[in-house]
Structure 1
Amino acid sequence: MAVLCRPAVAVPEHLITREQTLELARDIHGDHPQLDLALRLIGNTGVQTRHVVQPIEDTLKHPGFTVRNALYEKEAKSRVPDVVRRALDHAELTADEVDMIVYVSCTGFMMPSMTAWMINTMGFRSETRQLPIAQLGCAAGGAAINRAHDFCTAYPRANVLIVACEFCSLLYQPTDLAVGNLLSNGLFGDALAAAVVRGQGGVGVRIERNSSRLVRDTEDWISYEVRDTGFHFRLDKRVPGTMSVLAPAMRDVAEPHGWDIADLDFYIVHAGGPRILDDLGKYLSLPAETFRYSRRTLTERGNIASAVIFDALDRLFSEGGAVHGARGVIAGFGPGITAEIALGTWTGIPGQPSPPSDAVRSGRAAQPGSAARTWSANRAGS
């Protein structure tokens, strides 16, 4: 089965604290009739620090959507290669062994996608499959893992590279005074992440089952309004209550697999805000410590959209990983309202070599005959 290897994560160099965020809100929106509510909501996020791709004085300017999108492309091309190379190193693979690239982002737009640029500049084969995902927001990290799992199920010897690139600060709208938008100004941060799903070999989470769930009639709860000034984030006050639906959905995914979702060894879930984690714990009867990796991501980096689950997973790796065979869940939540859920078991020991993959996989040991023909037939649809 496909194994999700250790992610590589990076954050920009510019830091803003909760105290700075609150002070800026008071200075900029001092006459806002709901300022006290906005300040209270920002204070309750639990976010202590965030990283942004520009100095804060530049972040607070709006030079226009054209300039911002150009900055998104420039920063993505500058920062993506490092996390990709580190993720490939974690997976003990090279670029030419990747069969598909899944690129997820909801904070900028490029066509052709970053996948085309990566193939042209980073040593990937020209036949590498491309799957850009742009409209699943924070759920896209989970969707990328699940689509990688699907691909490796169809092509068991394939490898998939996932890249998440989120510059949420480029969505700042200084004239948008909706309370939900003011809250988002104190919640979201910038980050990049990359991870490899190996069809064979690898150390990490062996994905065994994945599922998607849409909560009907919630399309306008998390959304963008696309205007001349770019993307305007919309967040409905009912969003935190969705765990009453999504927690049972997670249970529904686990039970046919013979697992109890409330009795697993590790939980890597999207940290949209503290109430999401609190309610998930309440509905699954789990202690707060269960979601410690996600809480640390939220506290230290804010809501980094599709990159959250990779940052949380990297924190599990940093603690030494889990014991071999430990069971866990990875779940991303986002607009729709959409949940992307994967169940998996831990395989291998971090810091030790990956289990050997089929020698035919790399082509280095392939000899003419049935084995080589089998690999040729199976390789990602070749």
Structure 2
Amino acid sequence: MSVKIVAVAKQLPKYTRETKDIIPYLKIWMSGQDDRFQRKVIKLFENAGVDRRYSIMDAEDVFLRTSFEEKNDIYAKEAVNLAESALIKSLDKANLKAQDIDYIITVSCTGMMIPSMDAYLINRLKMRQDIVRLPVTEMGCAAGVSGIIYAKNFLKANPNKRAAVIAVESPTATFQLDDFSMVNIVSAAIFGDGASSVILSSYKDEEGPEIIDEAMYHFYDAETMMGFKLVNTGLQMILDKAVPETISNHFPKIVHPFLARNKVSIEDVDHLIFHPGGKKIVQTVEELFGSLGKNIDDTKEVLKLYGNMSSATVLYVLERFMDKQLPKGDLGLMLSFGPGFSAQRILLKW
């Protein structure tokens, strides 16, 4: 029995600014810091490969005044609003109603709320009272692909069912006002907020790319490379500068055995649907695959237009491929990385 992705839709928050318009707020935030440091930070923002980003709050609130409690209150409210809009859009694309969903997975790591956002969606949209819920909270950037893997396994065991995977992230809600470390600054330079919803189905007559295979790959002894530390002022980013090099070193073991067990090679893959973690990671991937004639243009474009939105980002890349109406038989390799450290892979066939 096959499981297919039948629709993907994104939803952006209401606030948006180009990177050049964020610089004045950045300068105010850095006032009192060394001039050389300020120039370095501004250059970092300008060269991050992100032209524009979206946010659940305006730049003034991010950089100048909100506490952890205030930011998390905004997150809790806006996460549900964004999730609802993204889910409705994806349902409309698939010509489905909210009551047609049997399994709901919500994904987010950038704020805290109990009950999780899926409970609110069930009430707002009057979804089925026997719907199966799974909130995923601690897998970071990899969780969008992880959610699809969990949904696929549920649907594989349950014919004629549908699942929704909704990822909502607000990295701007984790910005640390009193932290002038490069990790906090790099995070602010590359991340943005966004939401996306994916509808999957195990009905035979519904159309979309089929999930041929899926797998997770876990890096040993790399727990401290990426994640969050809960401090009094909120979720403090952990981001090791060795992440791009580590990914590069593991790429052969991540990609080639996974494809080989499906009797294909990287040369057979038509589309690379990769999570744009940041400019350096994008460059690393390009160096690895460019010589094979493969491109990650859609990955780069998503980073440029929206920034890294953690778990939701790779779903923005996936939506671009879904909207292209690709030829039957095309293969796509979906890949994301996240805390753990881990890589999540999906092989798709149109």
Q: Scaled by the length of structure 1, what TM-score is found?
A: 0.85
Counterpart for residue 283 of structure 1:
288
What does 1:190-229 correspond to in 2, within 5 Å? 190-200=193-203, 201-229=205-233
What does 1:1-382 correspond to in 2, within 5 Å? 1-30=2-31, 31-32=33-34, 34-200=37-203, 201-248=205-252, 249-286=254-291, 290-318=295-323, 320-346=324-350
Specify the code of the residue in structure 1 equivalent to 2:187: S
Shift of 1:243: 2.4
- 1 CA distance for matches of 2:291 and 2:12? 30
Shift of 1:40: 3.7
| Change over 3 Å in CA distance of 1:336–1:39 after alignment to 2 | farther
Shift of 1:28: 2.5
Most deviating of 68-77 and 47-56: 68-77
Shift of 1:43: 3.0
Most deviating of 129-138 and 12-21: 12-21
Quick check: 2:22–2:59 contact (8 Å CA) kept in 1? Answer: no
- 2 CA distance for matches of 1:288 and 1:336? 31
Q: Name structure 1 gaps, 5 residues minimum.
A: 347-382
How far does the alpha carbon of each residue in 1:71-100 deviate from its partner, in whole angstroms, 9 at most, with x for none?
Answer: 111112323222111111222322222111
Specify the code of the residue in structure 2 equivalent to 1:226: L
Specify the code of the residue in structure 2 equivalent to 1:222: M
How far does the alpha carbon of each residue in 1:38-85 deviate from its partner, in whole angstroms, 9 at most, with x for none?
Answer: 334333321011011112112223432222222111112323222111
Aligned with 2:336: secondary structure?
Answer: strand
Aligned with 1:60: secondary structure?
Answer: helix
- Percent identical pairs in the alignment equals 27
CA RMSD of aligned residues (A): 1.8
Shift of 1:285: 4.5
Specify the code of the residue in structure 2 equivalent to 1:13: K
Shift of 1:288: 8.1
Shift of 1:254: 0.8
Shift of 1:155: 1.2
Count of residue pairs the alignment pairs up? 345
Quick check: 2:7–2:91 contact (8 Å CA) kept in 1? Answer: no
Aligned with 2:273: secondary structure?
Answer: strand
How far does the alpha carbon of each residue in 1:328-381 deviate from its partner, in whole angstroms, 9 at most, with x for none?
Answer: 1111111111111000101xxxxxxxxxxxxxxxxxxxxxxxxxxxxxxxxxxx
| Change over 3 Å in CA distance of 1:6–1:213 after alignment to 2 | same
Counterpart for residue 366 of structure 1:
none
- 1 CA distance for matches of 2:118 and 2:13? 21
Q: Scaled by the length of structure 2, what TM-score is found?
A: 0.93
Quick check: 1:316–1:322 contact (8 Å CA) kept in 2? Answer: yes
| Change over 3 Å in CA distance of 1:289–1:27 after alignment to 2 | farther
| Change over 3 Å in CA distance of 1:288–1:334 after alignment to 2 | farther
Specify the code of the residue in structure 1 equivalent to 2:338: G
Most deviating of 22-31 and 249-258: 22-31
| Change over 3 Å in CA distance of 1:288–1:243 after alignment to 2 | farther
Aligned with 1:257: secondary structure?
Answer: coil
Specify the code of the residue in structure 2 equivalent to 1:160: A
Specify the code of the residue in structure 2 equivalent to 1:330: M
- 2 CA distance for matches of 1:184 and 1:287? 31
Quick check: 2:25–2:59 contact (8 Å CA) kept in 1? Answer: no
Aligned with 1:233: secondary structure?
Answer: strand
Most deviating of 138-147 and 275-284: 275-284
Shift of 1:36: 4.1
| Change over 3 Å in CA distance of 1:40–1:263 after alignment to 2 | farther
Specify the code of the residue in structure 1 equivalent to 2:108: S
Specify the code of the residue in structure 1 equivalent to 2:289: L
Quick check: 1:106–1:137 contact (8 Å CA) kept in 2? Answer: yes
How far does the alpha carbon of each residue in 1:224-250 deviate from its partner, in whole angstroms, 9 at most, with x for none?
Answer: 110111101121110111222442112
- 2 CA distance for matches of 1:14 and 1:317? 26
Shift of 1:6: 2.5
Specify the code of the residue in structure 1 equivalent to 2:8: P
| Change over 3 Å in CA distance of 1:296–1:121 after alignment to 2 | same
Quick check: 2:109–2:140 contact (8 Å CA) kept in 1? Answer: yes
Quick check: 1:278–1:288 contact (8 Å CA) kept in 2? Answer: no
